[in-house]
Amino acid sequence: MSTVKAKIDEVSAEAARRRTFAVISHPDAGKSTLTEALAVQAAAISTAGAVHGKGDRAGVTSDWMEMERSRGISITSSVLRFDYHGALLNLLDTPGHADFSEDTYRVLSAVDGAVMLLDSAKGLEAQTLKLFDVCKHGNVPILTFVNKWDRPGREPLELLDEVEQRIGLHAAPLNWPVGIAGDFRGLISRADGSFTKFVPGIGGAKAQAVRMSAEDAAAELGDVWETAMEELTLLTEIGAELDEEAFTGGISTPVLFGAALPQFGVSALLDALTTYAPPPAARKDAEGDRRPLDTPFSGQVFKVQAGMDKAHRDSLAFIRVCSGRFERGMTLTMGSTGRGLVTKHAQTVFGRDRTTVDTAYPGDVIGLPNTHGLTVGESLYEGSPAVSYPAIPAFAPEHFMVCRAKDVGKYKQFRRGIEQLDSEGAVQVLRSDIRGDQAPVLAAVGPLQFEVVAHRMEHEFNSPVNLNGLDFSECRLTDAESAEQLAKMRGVEVFKRSLTGDLVVLFADKWRLRAIEREHPDLKIEQMLAAGQY
């Protein structure tokens, strides 16, 4: 066998065992708890960090930022990588808060599947619906996990009906709960009819999973068991069976029930991911052509993050491997500039912890530290011809603040911090000749982003800032000719977006915007992608 053929076979085999997925949910549905439980069940970590409430999250592996730990919410994405029964899982945790929709959008551009987490009492919530739209837009197949079944909640058939009616996915349960939410007795596997009894742990500890025969379960549980059997019969009659082609085609969703906090039903979710979630496939390049997995290395930056390690104060570019075999030390080319990039310090990430990575394959996420010039959406490739993947669009910001250093003597730190946050996409930085570099305008999808900026500027870059709101609510793209005219109008201000060089125009409100569009139809005033409008 030739060396080239051996490498192609190696890439194909390694890609086939990878599962790269994200967990999406509404805040407080238990996403970080489930993320931890998945890693624990796969023996990637020894103890789950999420226990009894938001004040106790000091050990949550995926929530590494100080603000996340103190406030009990996920406000940045992270990567967990672990082996499970021969499969290699790359779990990309996503921010749960709606103010960080843009970060979630970037993460979902880098995965092959998603787990949609539902609260058993609340079902589909606003943020879940928005994130489902992102997955649908990107043809990302979805598995559904109904969480918190150990607490009071809704009827399982009602939840399945909601999934079908509100988002149009055919729900296909892989297991079925015995006992109503809050009076959870265990789970029946629809594949083989086996029953696993739920025995709660003491004080919220991990539950015991006790396998029982159907005969013993029926004798012990009585009417509760009979009800579950009737519901299973109904599911069969209505055709609630898994069709793998319908799942990968975005028509159907496998559904599992469980409780992430006591870690019950989580192993069944891992089994479903390794069995049904799609492995990496050829991804479309900027021209719309699919690049085969076995072609030379290519990848795309979907996130840049600094401040993960206080000891190093460096930044890390997260790259999804799209094709080929990555080897540490190889020289890559940046698609936007043609500049070479050496990768001798490549790393793999688990939460905030890093280890050197020597090789990686399609579906993997690698981190390149201190690679100045790498921004979100950048394509990287080996050799020739050039490879470019579609840009990851920025959302239309809805909140705007002028940012100034509290201590003018720390302008160097101030400038470095603003440039770093801009390159990460933590906020959009808008500049104009009128305001100058010492007073850039920060633009964000949600106001919580400004809190993150203020916290990081003070604690990471040693430059506390003052933020003052601006009375604008609408943002559009424009061109140089139109910008010259728009800048003279009342209730309008024109800026250049630092990261991309785009000209953007801010309007006081939607009425002012509509009036100008009506009075000056010749001006270029172009809509940007809005959060929730994918």
Per-residue pLDDT tens digits for 456-509: 999 889 999 999 999 999 999 999 999 999 999 999 999 999 888 889 999 999
Domains of the chain, start order: 18-27+76-276 (3.40.50.300), 283-381 (2.40.30.10), 399-519 (3.30.70.3280)
For tokens 């785009």, name the residue. 502
Q: What is the pLDDT of residues 186-201, one digit of tens each?
A: 999 999 999 999 999 8
Phi, psi dihedral angles at 381 (to 5 degrees): -155, 165
Strand, coil or helix: 326: strand
Cβ neighbors of 324 (< 8 A, separation 6 or more) are: 11, 293, 294, 295, 296, 297, 298, 362, 382
Mean pLDDT of the chain: 87
For the cut 60, the answer to whether the pLDDT of residue 74 exceeds it is no
Q: What is the pLDDT of residue 111?
A: 95
**Which of 38-47, 155-164, 446-455 shows the lowest per-residue confidence on average (mean pLDDT)?**
38-47
Annotated binding site for GTP: 93-97
Q: What is the pLDDT of residue 351?
A: 65
| String of DSSP letters for 84-143 | ETTEEEEEEE---SGGGHHHHHHHHTT-SEEEEEEETTTBS-HHHHHHHHHHHHTT--EE
Instruction: Report the 10 Å Cβ neighbour count for 162.
Output: 15
pLDDT confidence of 53, banded at 50, 70, 90?
very low
Q: Which of 103, 93, 108 minimizes the C-alpha distance to 395?
A: 103
Report the largest interatomic distance among the alpha carbons of the chain, rounded to a whole angstrom.
81
Q: What is the DSSP letter of 286?
A: T
Instruction: Report the 10 Å Cβ neighbour count for 457.
Output: 24
Q: What is the pLDDT of residues 236-264, one digit of tens each?
A: 999 999 999 999 999 999 999 999 999 99
Q: Which of 425, 465, 370, 459 minimizes the C-alpha distance to 65?
A: 459
For the cut 80, the answer to whether the pLDDT of residue 172 exceeds it is yes
CA distance 258 to 414: 47
pLDDT confidence of 44, banded at 50, 70, 90?
low
pLDDT confidence of 61, banded at 50, 70, 90?
very low
What string of H, E and C letters represents the secondary structure of 450-482? HHHHHHHHHHCCCCCEEEEECCCCEEEEECHHH
Contact between residue 124 and residue 118 where contact means Cβ atoms under 8 Å apart = yes
Determine the average pLDDT of the residues in 412-427.
89
For the cut 60, the answer to whether the pLDDT of residue 58 exceeds it is no
The two structure tokens encoding residue 20: 């790269």
The two structure tokens encoding residue 365: 């996420």
CA distance 111 to 109: 6
For the cut 80, the answer to whether the pLDDT of residue 230 exceeds it is yes
Q: What is the pLDDT of residues 421-433, one digit of tens each?
A: 888 888 899 999 8
Determine the average pLDDT of the residues in 357-378.
89
Determine the average pLDDT of the residues in 149-172.
96
For the cut 60, the answer to whether the pLDDT of residue 515 exceeds it is yes
Q: Between 25 and 310, name the one with better pLDDT.
A: 25
Q: What is the pLDDT of residue 341?
A: 92
For the cut 70, the answer to whether the pLDDT of residue 50 exceeds it is no
Q: What is the pLDDT of residue 331?
A: 94
Contact between residue 302 and residue 319 where contact means Cβ atoms under 8 Å apart = yes
Q: Per DSSP, what are the bridge partners of residue 351?
A: none
The two structure tokens encoding residue 226: 């009979």
Phi, psi dihedral angles at 526 (to 5 degrees): -105, 135
For the cut 60, the answer to whether the pLDDT of residue 234 exceeds it is yes
For the cut 90, the answer to whether the pLDDT of residue 60 exceeds it is no
pLDDT confidence of 445, banded at 50, 70, 90?
confident
Tell me the CB-side half-sphere exposure of residue 430, using CA atoms within 13 A: 23
Residue at 64: amino acid letter: W
CA distance 434 to 402: 13
Q: Between 313 and 58, name the one with better pLDDT.
A: 313
CA distance 286 to 309: 34
| pLDDT over 70, % of the chain | 89
CA distance 264 to 177: 11
Peptide bond into 292 cis (omega under 30): no
Q: What is the pLDDT of residue 532?
A: 44
Q: What is the pLDDT of residue 98?
A: 67
Instruction: State the Rg of the chain over Cα.
Output: 25
pLDDT confidence of 56, banded at 50, 70, 90?
very low
Q: What is the pLDDT of residue 162?
A: 96
CA distance 264 to 196: 10
For the cut 70, the answer to whether the pLDDT of residue 531 exceeds it is no
Q: Report pTM.
A: 0.84
**Which of 38-52, 268-282, 405-419, 483-497 shows the lowest per-residue confidence on average (mean pLDDT)?**
38-52
CA distance 41 to 266: 7
Residue at 301: amino acid letter: V
pLDDT confidence of 96, banded at 50, 70, 90?
low
pLDDT confidence of 369, banded at 50, 70, 90?
confident
pLDDT confidence of 49, banded at 50, 70, 90?
very low
Q: Per DSSP, what are the bridge partners of residue 89?
A: 19, 82
pLDDT confidence of 446, banded at 50, 70, 90?
confident
Annotated binding site: 93-97
CA distance 388 to 380: 8
Phi, psi dihedral angles at 492 (to 5 degrees): -140, 145
